[in-house]
Amino acid sequence: MGFLRIIQPLSFTCFLLYNYKMNTGEENMTDEQIASLVQNGDKEKFGLLIDRYQSKLTRYGRKFLARRENIEDIVQDVFISTYQNIQDFDTSLKFSSWVYRIAHNAFVNGLKKQSISPITSLDLDVLLSYQVYEDPDVRERETKELKKMIDSCLDTLKPKYREVIVLHYIEDFSYKEISDILKIPTGTVGIRIKRAKEELRKSYQELEKKYGEL
């Protein structure tokens, strides 16, 4: 069975997950080790990466896009693009940041097709400076505080703010990793997260006034 058959939409994910289940003892391999094997000809190992990232990227898309009917198709396109460009991946870097960068591009294209104020290349946030301090204790406290607001008000945010909240508080990426994914300065990540939290709090307070304690 030729590996290129997986490029066919209906067989892509199922074929690779089938091949993954035929292997054992590989769950401890890093993403980068698996990617290296794929680069060196063991193409069916790509199924391991699909298994690890399919639910994550689907969740990312569902949180990032306001209209979610085409998420599965977009995620499949992400995997196809990832496989087709796997030789360009530098295995000394983090695979997760690389594949989320591909997913970011795909979801932004999805936003454009939905005609929902797509993220533009000219962004005032990039022109501002913001000193980033990541304190694990502060982040844990903020995460608990923001969880209810995220669940209730995430869709009220502009896409560029919604995405950084999803990446940081749901997908657990650091500011530096988000910077790598979005190709923006780390300080810009801090600005967007700060503004997103302010907007979330405003939206949540408005909901509380309207419906009482949530």
pLDDT digits (tens, 9 = 90+) for 71-102: 889 999 999 999 999 999 999 999 999 999 99
- Mean pLDDT, each 10-residue run in order, the chain (214 residues): 41 49 69 96 94 95 76 93 97 96 91 55 41 62 72 85 92 94 94 92 83 61
Full set of structural domains in the chain with CATH: 3-114 (1.10.1740.10), 124-211 (1.10.10.10)
* pTM (global) more than 0.85: no
**Three-state secondary structure string covering the chain:** CCHHHHHCCCCHHHHHHHHHHCCCCCCCCCHHHHHHHHHCCCHHHHHHHHHHHHHHHHHHHHHHCCCCCCHHHHHHHHHHHHHHCHHHCCCCCCHHHHHHHHHHHHHHHHHHHHCCCCCCCCCHHHHCCCCCCCCHHHHHHHHHHHHHHHHHHHHHCCHHHHHHHHHHHHCCCCHHHHHHHHCCCHHHHHHHHHHHHHHHHHHHHHHHHHHCCC
